[in-house]
Amino acid sequence: MDVLGLTIKKDNENKIITFLCLLSAYTESSQFNISFNAPSSTGKSYIPLEISNLFPVRDSMKLGNCSPQAFFHEQGAYDKAKNTITVDLSRKIIIFLDQPHNDLLVRLRALLSHDEKEIQSKITDKNQKGGNKTKTVIIKGFPSVIFCSAGLKIDEQEGTRFLLLSPEISQEKIRQAVIEKIKKETDIDAYKDWLNSNPERKMLKDRILAIKQADVMEINIHSPEKVEEKFLSGNKKLQSRGTRDVGRIISIAKSLALLNLWFRERIGSTVIANDEDVEGAFKIWDSISESQELNLPPYIFNLYKEVILTIWNEKKQSIPEEMLKESGLTRQEIVQRNYKLNGRLIPDWQLRQDIVPMLENAGLIRQEEDMKDKRKKLIYPTAELNTLPKENNSESGSGVSN
């Protein structure tokens, strides 16, 4: 984290998770995917791009907008006799600097889910006579994939295939980023010399190269029962996406073991992740799990916690309980409080079309007509985080004392 912090200020969880995601590319099948969702100019693409500079250049693919045909033709090898394009994405890092073409995203769904190690897809091209011809695309291997998008809406099918992250937007982070930008842009050569001469950064790059050359095939978990115990602990209600969530936790644990492979048990080309790796993975997961389980980008979830809940709690303290029903939150109140807190204005269309519906679908808010003005809708939180009573199935005064 200290090495990554040379160029990426704050965002501690984001930069560690992103680093481990890129490192997971050097496994056979334990890669995981990340989607950065936040407004523009918050550093969505900066984090993965900056971290990718630590990795060998030939292992990274950095793409802007890309159609399915362009992606498969450029990355694949065409076999004219079989009319097939073979795309080998094994041990590759793919960073989409913007939301990719929807058709490409659809075609990559099976790949992102790790359904099969070799997947066939069909694409249509124009032939020399102006008609259509079909080609078969064979996609081999699993890459580590990162999407960076200013769009906040997330299709449920994509949401369960990614860890959803958002860069910090605190004033302190912006202040430190501005200082770093000035330092870099005023003398680029001196900045590069300072960065490249840092001994710990050089050692980390050497370590990544050594991990790649170790050619690890599989990473196994020493204590599966520990993963089961920690994931199922507590009284949380399991969701259908739980199988994918626990898979991501295991992938993080395997990435931690890969980072320390020389200090882990090794049998041939298989590394054994120990309890320390599992503990580390759950520590990382705990820092982001609330928003993941709600299928919300942290940016929207933090807006709910820091803005909507704060305004609502202030109203509860200043307004009699019987009047709360008529005193919901207006969109204007949310916009003004967010500007005061973060110095950013949320466009009304984005709040109305993206943010409020996502919070409503997650069950965190409800909307009701304003009794005083039927043209308006008021927003009411439906759950106050960490304050809901735990389920109690026992009658008071009964049962055993211990």
Q: Which domains does the chain have, with CATH numbers?
A: 4-178 (3.40.50.300), 298-381 (3.30.420)
- % of the chain with per-residue pLDDT over 90: 50
- Position 401 scores a pLDDT of 44
**31 with 57: CB under 8 angstroms?**
no
Alpha helices by DSSP H, listed for 76-198, are: 102-112, 156-159, 171-186, 188-196
Closest to 15 measured CA to CA, from 31, 2, 25: 2
Quick check: 191 pLDDT over 90? yes
CA–CA distances in Å: residue 340 to residues 41, 178, 303, 345, 347 = 18, 20, 12, 9, 15
Which residues lie below 8 Å from residue 318, measured CB to CB, with a gap of 6+?
none
Whether the CB-CB separation of 366 and 321 falls below 8 Å is answered with no
Tell me what the mean pLDDT of segment 83-90 comes to. 85
Mean pLDDT of all residues in 174-195 = 93
What are the contacts of 45-48 at 24+ separation with CB within 8 A? 45/95, 45/97, 45/148, 46/8, 46/167, 47/8, 47/11, 47/14, 47/15, 47/18, 47/167, 48/18, 48/22, 48/95, 48/146, 48/148
Of 41-55, 209-223, 233-247, 265-279, the range with the lowest mean pLDDT is 233-247
Q: What pLDDT band is residue 265 in, cutting at 50, 70 and 90?
A: very high
Q: Is 213 exposed, middle or buried (0-12, 13-18, 19+ CB in 10 A)?
A: exposed
**Mapping DSSP to helix (H, G, I), strand (E, B) and coil, where does residue 366 land?**
strand
Mean per-residue pLDDT over the chain, rounded: 85
pLDDT of res. 383: 65
Q: Mean pLDDT throughout 246-268?
A: 95
Q: Rounded to an integer, what distance in angstroms lies between the CA atom of residue 85 and that of residue 387? A: 55
Q: Does pLDDT of 388 surpass 60?
A: no
Backbone conformation region of residue 268, classed left if phi is above 0, alpha if psi is from -120 to 50, else beta: left
Q: What is the reported pTM?
A: 0.85
pLDDT of res. 387: 41
Average of pLDDT values for 189-193?
A: 94
